[in-house]
């Protein structure tokens, strides 16, 4: 498989995921419209020219050429055209089943069910993923301190180092509570205790060391510890410079540019230098020593973008079974983060919009990239990654569509609510110009997001 084919495959996976989310949204509008006696003229999966179509109960269900989502066209365009043509001040001659002859409450229901369908879809995804078998990374409780790597941790220092813990210590227990992994260490250190007693194995000798943490403004205490991981090559991204340099899974990294590497923090520290070329000294699975030299890729910030991960131990993650409660909690968490990001962008508090906002092209590539990386581990990881990201996109689509912008569901709901409260119908010309404004706004946003995506891709290429 060539690099071009791999990129196309990632785009297709991403586009399929986004299209499913959009179709769920439009299915919500379809069902709600029919329940409220509003006719649906066309329900399309995809955009552009029709490939196939069939008519059922007055609705044409079609498959369109471009798999970029879909749409649900409600009856009422003829009513609007006639009202504008005859310069009418109201929608006086509406067709049966038209959007404009429906009570505002029915229109509100029709528009709001689209976003609600996306939220429900996300809840069901995360409820299902709670029962989905998966592996979680298991890190042994072998530590370094933040004082050992000042450039990585902004010279923060380390209370643990000051009180006697050293790089390479293996934590056996904290306050007499046994630990089996770094995750256990993190869980215990989150407890609100300032002074902790660490039992560690140092070169075969058990030691007990008391450490006093540094109080944090937000509560809790900082101890200045970090896990270390053996520098063993794990998954290698297909088509990456590392893949082409004959790097193999299981290779142990001994040195980079003749600098000895003992763990992942040593490797990250070296990569901060942003080397133009990288020479790795490796020990193969057969015990032989070899060197590989290659020119790495760089991300948009100019940092080295490694095309491989380090080999990690894994263990089966605990599952709770299908849980709507878990689905609700996870969906609410993602929704809060999305709303927070949106508020930051709209209030101009977000300084790096490119990292927070993406267009469809970049979103599709990100979904496809993460999904294919998951499939490189195993099928379950790939499916889980795709479903998780579809849930994120579904919640984001629901929130954005509820913005009070004409041509969005939120704008239509606001117009219907205005008519319901004031008992006055929006004039056809006003409705037309508001919709036109909404369409122009969406087009401008689409163009800006596309430019953002292009700049992102060009930055990566540099």
- In tens, the pLDDT along 311-355 reads 887 777 677 788 899 999 999 999 998 888 888 777 766 555 555
Dump pLDDT digits (tens) for 104-134. 999 999 999 999 999 999 999 999 998 887 7
- Write down the mean pLDDT value for the chain: 86
In angstroms, the CA 381 to CA 136 distance is: 10
Question: What is the per-residue pLDDT for 79?
Answer: 73
CB atoms within 10 A of CB 111: 26
Counting Cβ atoms within 10 Å, is residue 383 exposed (0-12), middle (13-18) or buried (19+)? middle
In angstroms, the CA 214 to CA 88 distance is: 72
Question: What is the per-residue pLDDT for 379?
Answer: 76
* Mean pLDDT, rounded, for 205-225: 92
Dump pLDDT digits (tens) for 352-377. 555 555 666 677 777 777 787 777 66
In angstroms, the CA 139 to CA 118 distance is: 36
Dump pLDDT digits (tens) for 164-205. 999 999 999 999 999 999 999 999 998 888 999 999 999 999
- Domains with residue ranges and CATH for the chain: 3-131+388-461 (no CATH), 137-227 (2.30.42.10), 233-308 (2.30.42.10)
Which residue reads 């942003």 in tokens? 274
Residue 462 has pLDDT above 50, yes or no: no
In angstroms, the CA 181 to CA 191 distance is: 17
Question: What is the per-residue pLDDT for 237?
Answer: 81
Of 277, 281, 272, 271, whose CA–CA distance to 296 is shortest? 277
Reported confidence tier of residue 461, pLDDT bands at 50, 70, 90: very low
Question: Pairing mode, if any, of strands 205-212 and 214-215?
Answer: unpaired
């Amino acid at each position: 498989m060539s690099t071009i084919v791999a990129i196309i495959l990632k785009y297709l996976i991403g586009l399929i995921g986004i299209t499913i989310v959009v179709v769920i949204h439009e299915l919500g509008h379809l069902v709600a419209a029919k329940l409220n006696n509003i006719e649906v003229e066309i329900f399309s999966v995809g955009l552009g020219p029709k490939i196939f179509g069939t008519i059922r109960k007055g609705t044409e269900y079609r498959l369109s050429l471009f798999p970029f989502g879909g749409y649900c066209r409600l009856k009422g365009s003829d009513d609007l055209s006639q009202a504008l043509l005859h310069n009418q001040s109201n929608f006086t001659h509406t067709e049966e089943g038209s959007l404009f002859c429906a009570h505002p409450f029915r229109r509100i229901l029709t528009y709001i069910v689209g976003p609600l369908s996306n939220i429900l879809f996300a809840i069901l995804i995360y409820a299902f993923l709670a029962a989905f078998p998966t592996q979680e990374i298991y890190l042994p409780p072998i530590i370094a301190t933040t004082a050992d790597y000042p450039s990585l941790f902004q010279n923060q220092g380390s209370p643990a180092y000051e009180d006697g813990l050293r790089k390479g210590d293996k934590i056996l227990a904290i306050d007499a509570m046994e630990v089996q992994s770094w995750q256990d260490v993190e869980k215990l250190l989150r407890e609100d205790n300032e002074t902790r007693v660490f039992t560690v194995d140092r070169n075969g000798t058990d030691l007990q060391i008391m450490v006093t943490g540094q109080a944090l403004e937000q509560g809790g205490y900082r101890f200045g510890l970090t896990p270390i991981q053996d520098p063993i090559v794990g998954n290698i991204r297909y088509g990456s410079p590392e893949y082409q340099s004959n790097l193999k899974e299981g290779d142990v990294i001994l040195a980079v540019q003749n600098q000895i590497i003992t763990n992942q923090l040593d490797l990250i520290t070296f990569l901060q230098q942003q080397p133009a070329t990288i020479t790795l000294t490796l020990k193969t699975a057969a015990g032989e020593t070899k060197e590989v030299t290659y020119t790495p890729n760089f991300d948009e910030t100019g940092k080295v973008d490694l095309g491989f991960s380090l080999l990690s131990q894994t263990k089966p993650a605990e599952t709770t079974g299908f849980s709507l409660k878990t689905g609700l909690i996870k969906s609410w968490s993602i929704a809060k983060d999305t709303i927070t990001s949106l508020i930051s962008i709209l209030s101009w508090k977000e300084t790096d919009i490119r990292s927070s906002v993406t267009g469809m092209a970049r979103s599709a590539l990100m979904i496809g990239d993460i999904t294919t990386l998951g499939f490189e581990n195993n099928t379950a990881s790939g499916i889980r990654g795709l479903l998780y990201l579809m849930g994120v996109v579904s919640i984001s689509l629901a929130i954005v569509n509820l913005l009070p912008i004409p041509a969005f569901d939120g704008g239509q709901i606001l117009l219907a609510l205005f008519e319901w409260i004031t008992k006055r119908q929006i004039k056809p010309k006003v409705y037309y110009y508001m919709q036109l404004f909404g369409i122009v706004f969406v087009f401008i946003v689409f163009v800006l997001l596309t430019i953002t995506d292009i700049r992102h891709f060009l930055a990566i290429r540099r």
